Amino acid sequence: MIQVENLTVRFAGVTPIDDASLDFPGGTCGLIGPNGAGKTTFFNVLSGFVKPAAGSIRAFGEDMLRMADYKRARWGLRRTFQTEQSIENLSVFDNVAMIHEHSGAKRSSRQADVLAAMEFVGLDVSPRAKAGSLGAGERRLLEVARAVVGRPRVVLLDEPAAGLPEEETEHLGGVIQRIPEAFGALTILVDHDMSLVSNCCTTTAVLDFGKVIAIGPTADVLRDERVTNAYLGTEEEV
């Protein structure tokens, strides 16, 4: 459970997140909104890359904003980036193992956990293969494997299916959907692919210009008039 209260982020003159309050109850949650709505900024606040001007974020009772950035991974925060960030000259195994060894999980379980994470995402390549030799789809799966290894509590996925063909997106959607059940982690999915979001997410929140304009069961939210207006760019009535 993540509770965000009155979160405001300001960069010189711009307010990418404007007094946002929302709760992510658990399971896989969607976070959608037009470009520039503040979705990635929200992830960056959670990761500690951006210091908010005001507000608080509590995750499972823990005050996230008071935690040192590099300690958040050990606490159980995982994330992926819009551009995939696997380490090209390390092997697939080492790519996942390096997350595990900074997660505080037991060393003795490393090999089993890493291989289990690879299997969970359906990454069927040799663990010894260099990440640089993988195809785009396999790299996306590798990133998700990195995000779920070593007792994650919150998994943030920033457009994990960007650039993937439909078939691979579908497979990835199935994987994302199973994360909360398999690892007990609250998963937040940012994506522009509405069919992916509606397939994976039970709850979805919508941001527009840094404000929360809707939150609730995904099907209801996607039917919400304000949401379609935000996406279609219809002017709001004053």
Q: Which of 153, 156, 207 is nearest to 185 (CA)?
A: 153
Task: Indicate the residue among 172 and 227 with the shorter CB distance to other proteins.
Answer: 172
Per-residue contact flags (x/-) with other proteins for residues 142 to 181, judged by CB under 8 A: ----x----x--------------------------x---
Size of the site for other proteins (CB under 8 A): 48
Task: Indicate the residue among 34 and 180 with the shorter CB distance to other proteins.
Answer: 180
Per-residue contact flags (x/-) with other proteins for residues 17 to 56, judged by CB under 8 A: ------------------------------xxx-------
Q: Does the footprint of other proteins cover residue 193 (CB under 8 A)?
A: no
Please give the residue ranges that form the binding site for other proteins (CB under 8 A).
Answer: 47-49, 69-74, 77-79, 81, 85-90, 93-94, 97-99, 101-103, 105, 109, 111-113, 115-120, 124, 126-128, 146, 151, 178, 182-184
